[in-house]
Amino acid sequence: MRPTEAQVIALEHQQTLNEAHGEIETAHPGFLGSQDTYSVGTIKGIGRIYQQTFVDTYSKVAACKL
């Protein structure tokens, strides 16, 4: 059974919505992550303190260090 023209249009529209929201398809799941560095503050005598956060976007596991 072949999809109707309306179904094809709806699928193409959904694909553009997924792309606009940052979803991505990759040939190698688990090799894609998100990383951020955030300034937490300062400690006298030490200096600036930063938090580094990494999220494995495939398994949704996060690691953080100060």
Instruction: Give the residue extent of every domain in the chain.
Output: 5-65
Please tell me the predicted confidence (pLDDT) of residue 59: 76
Please tell me the predicted confidence (pLDDT) of residue 21: 60
Please tell me the predicted confidence (pLDDT) of residue 29: 66
- What pLDDT digit, counting tens, does each position of 22-59 carry? 666 777 766 778 888 988 999 999 899 999 999 887 77
Rounded CA-CA distance 61/32 in Å is 12
Rounded CA-CA distance 63/60 in Å is 10
